[in-house]
Structure 1
Amino acid sequence: MLPELAGTFGVSQAAAATSLTAYLLPFAAVMLVSGTLGERWGPMRTIRFAYAGYVVVAAVAALAPWFWLFQVSRGLQGVANAFTTPLLLTKLASVTPKERLGRTLGLYGAVQALGQTSAPLVGGLAAEGSWRWAFAGIAAVAAVLTACPLPPDEESPQRRPRLRDAWRPVVVWSGLLIFVAWACLAGLPFLVAFRVDDAFALGPGARGLVLTAFGFAGFATARLVGSAADRFGSRTAVCAGLLLGAVAVGAIGVVGSLPLVVVAWAAGGLCSQLILVGVNALVLGGEANGRGGAISVVTALRFLGMSASPAAFTGLYRHDAALGFLVPGALLAASAPLLAHRIFRTGTGPRARLRHSRG
């Protein structure tokens, strides 16, 4: 719906694309501490308050008469959502045996991908009439989630979680890897929308339908990806996702066929699940103390990468459409040997636990 936003508020498409950053930057920045704070306040209560706040600020976005107010509302949506994502993941990890963690995270990823699948389509269809209906729908969904039941909180630990508990080496390196992956892969729907608009002159509804390929592929393969991560290990899943994702992203910028673009974007959805499930399993499978803060930090860096994507690649795409996709593809390929090896040297797998026990 970015072209329609630009038309409503009388701003350029590049300025409209900053609405993604306006949401994702505070979302990611607050998430650096939201997991730890939520564990202190009580995860269930924190999640409910966050959803209730989301209802209000999504309604402001739907009614905003000025672009600056729309941007402010997007930032507040990011702040509210920062207190849901990491705490929901922590709850999943607390009730799941470690040997099934990959499959459980795969199921979570499938449901999350279903949201990614439906959102572009619903947003594009809403933009056929008015993009404001999309934000009205978001407010209604958040109201329902506020009333949904949640598992009870665990007993409070003897020592309150500290912010520095989350900043272990494996967490930092995992966060850096997923920062690159989300900037160069999952953060590119806006660029794919520009590409199919420029190359194939698709309307907003058709653009939204194309973008659903990413989320649909992630939804269809997430459980399989989770089982593969349990069987073959997180390292294999992450490295495969990075390298295959590099090929898929690069192809979008150079192929001249709409079906091939859709296939490449769908392959990107599969690759994103390989990376996400592998990294989340690595972090959540570690120490229980400070686990909420750890996954919060990794998720924050993940969405910081997504928020950086429009600023990093929009100008490059406008200069040369092929380079707009080949550069992020090259960064994905380069991150596999540079970061993945370091993460698993400091990881929590069997070898790492053996070294710790000997120490």
Structure 2
Amino acid sequence: MAMLPELGAAYGVSPGTASLSLTAYLFPFAAVMLFSGTLGERWGRRRTVVTAYGAYVLASVACILATAFPVFLAARALQGAANAFTTPLLLSALAAAVPAQRLGRALGWFGSLQAAGQTSAPLLGGFAAEVDWRLAFGGVAVVAALLLVLGIPSETRPDAVRPGLGDALRAALRPEVLRAGVAAALGWGCLAGLSFLVALRLEEEFGVGAGPRGLLLTGLGVAGLLTARLVGGGVDRVGARRSVLLGAGLGAVVVVAVGVLPAVWPVALAWAVGGVATQLVLVGVNAMVLGTPGENRGGAVSVVQAVRFGGGALSPVAITPIYHADPLAGFLVPAALLAVAVPAALARGGQDPSTDSSARA
């Protein structure tokens, strides 16, 4: 969050304390997402997403008006909880709206737009903070209000008799979904989640300043944005599970390269390739879950996303001590997790649904 110094100054707290605003957002975001997709499928996708956008608008306005830091943190928590009801249901609606043989391409488009937001948000937030940090929250409130008006398409098929909430949650928490979530968590946490580690190496070994570091780190998001559509088409052709394994293998090579290359420009190039690897993992995992026939696909993808963001949140806590003990090991350990743990998580999975869909097409 580029505006932490300005935020801390506004509330009379240190930038470190101001960083609690990230935790206040991410913790409820990941926790609520464990069941938000299941609840949204029961309440109706369109109704739930529109309500979530409305709650996000109110929470953003509360962030702007908050006069005390604890109130601001509470508003951030409401933002996270509200946003937890959007992504899983949007993915579920997307899967219901496109033919199975084109699911990967549709998810690639979705991933490219997500990457665009993730890449531009720090930059736009930083520019807003130069004037007033509240402008950033005003901007997201306006965007959420526009999305509320647009909504999403209504379900095109009538709902069958809906299972009880307990049965729906069990369907979302089945073992193959949890294994896909572990693969997503490792892919996210050991690739995109290592941006803090890349920044540390750039500063400590090459003396790169804050501005150039930030520019270099955006390379992963830009590469993901530019290649997500192509990655989605590749998922349709080679299958979702193979795409995840390819992305994990490529990611392992990227992480090792970023940790050992002796100059800034090859590190920057390797980190950008990491954006392609990240998209292969994330689009592939989403296609695996959404391409599998069964009830409560929205709940299943919700669980996967919750585990994914949980993995990203744990990455700094788990990897930073290893890096301080041995900088090279700080990169070799996540690379090994990508190369070994991701295939292990998917080893017991069934037949790749996206491959089946391509064959039928």
Same fold judged by TM-score > 0.5? yes
Which residue of the partner structure matches residue 325 of structure 1?
A: 331
Does residue 131 of structure 2 align to residue 125 of structure 1? Answer: no
Deviation of the 1:71 alpha carbon: 3.3
Note the C-alpha offset of 1:84: 0.3
Conserved? CA contact 2:219–2:272, under 8 Å: yes
| Cα distance in 2, alignment partners of residues 145 and 123 from structure 1 | 20
- Cα distance in 2 for partners of 1:66, 1:308 equals 28
Q: 1:177 to 1:258 in 2, by over 3 A?
A: same
Aligned to 2:96: 94
Q: Distance in 2 between matches of 1:50 and 1:38?
A: 10
How do 1:342-353 residues align onto structure 2 when only pairs under 5 Å count? 342-343=348-349, 345=350, 348=353
1:207-227 CA-to-partner distances (Å, cap 9, x unmatched) read 443332112111111111111
How do 1:294-305 residues align onto structure 2 when only pairs under 5 Å count? Answer: 294-305=300-311
Aligned in 2, Cα 1:265/1:71: closer, same or farther, shift over 3 Å?
farther
Which residue is equivalent to 2:359? Answer: none
TM superposition shift of 1:170: 1.6
Q: 1:167 to 1:7 in 2, by over 3 A?
A: closer
Q: Deviations over 1:253-277 (max 9, x none)?
A: 3445332332222111111110011
Alignment identity in percent?
Answer: 50
- The normalised TM-score by structure 2 is 0.86
- Which of 315, 320, 343 is the aligned partner of 1:337? 343
Aligned match of 2:142: 140
Whether the 8 Å contact between 1:170 and 1:346 is mirrored in structure 2 is: no
Larger CA deviation: 15-24 vs 107-116:
15-24
19-28 or 78-87: bigger deviation? 19-28
Between 1:89-98 and 1:308-317, the stretch displaced more is 308-317
Matched, 1:290 2:292: no
Distance 2:59 2:317 in 1: 24
Unaligned runs of 5+ in 1: 352-359
After superposition, what is the alpha-carbon deviation per residue over 1:147-174, rounded to whole angstroms, capped at 9, x for unaligned? 1142122322222462112122221211
For the Cα contact (< 8 Å) 1:31–1:300, is it kept in 2? yes
How far off its partner does 1:320 sit?
Answer: 5.2
| 1:150 alignment partner, SS class | coil
8 Å contact from structure 2 (residues 184, 307) kept in 1 = yes
C-alpha RMSD over aligned residues: 2.7
For residue 231 of structure 1, the aligned residue among 237, 250, 257 is: 237
- Indicate if the aligned counterparts of 2:52 and 2:82 stay in contact, CA closer than 8 A: yes
User: Alignment partner of 2:190: what SS?
Assistant: helix
1:159 matched to 2:162: yes
Residues 222 and 273 in structure 1, CA contact (< 8 A), matched pair in contact too: yes
The residue that corresponds to 2:209 in the other structure is: 202
The reply on whether 1:104 has 2:110 as its aligned counterpart is: no
Which residue in the other structure is 1:354 paired with?
none
Give 3-state SS (helix, strand or coil) of 1:159's partner. coil
CA separation in 2, counterparts of 1:319 and 1:277? Answer: 34
SS at the partner of 1:342? coil
Equivalent-residue separation in structure 1 for 2:187 and 2:181 (angstroms): 10
CA-CA distance at 1:281 after TM superposition? 0.9
Instruction: Evaluate the alpha carbon distance shift between residue 214 and residue 5 of structure 1 in structure 2; reply closer, same or farther with a 3 A threshold.
Output: farther
1:195 to partner: Cα distance: 4.6
AA partner of residue 125 (structure 1): F
The answer to which of 207-216 and 4-13 deviates more is: 4-13
- Give how far 1:202 is off: 2.6
Taking structure 1 as reference, are residues 316 and 135 closer, same or farther at Cα in structure 2, changes over 3 Å only? farther
Equivalent position to 1:51, from 50, 53, 57: 53
Larger mean CA deviation between 208-217 and 279-288 belongs to: 208-217
In 2, Cα distance between the equivalents of 1:194 and 1:137? 31
Could you tell me which residue of structure 2 aligns to residue 356 of structure 1?
none
> Aligned ranges for residues 220-299 of structure 1 at < 5 Å?
220-299=226-305
Aligned partners of 1:117 and 1:211 also within 8 Å:
no
What amino acid is the match of 1:243?
A: G
CA distance in 2 between counterparts of 1:107 and 1:193 reads 29
Evaluate the alpha carbon distance shift between residue 348 and residue 264 of structure 1 in structure 2; reply closer, same or farther with a 3 A threshold. Answer: same
In structure 2, relative to structure 1, the CA distance for the partners of 1:146 and 1:132 (3 Å cut) is: same
- Partner Cα separation in structure 2 for residue 229 and residue 185 of structure 1: 19
Query: Are residues 1:11 and 2:18 paired?
Result: no
Structure 2 CA distance for aligned equivalents of residues 17 and 299 of structure 1:
23
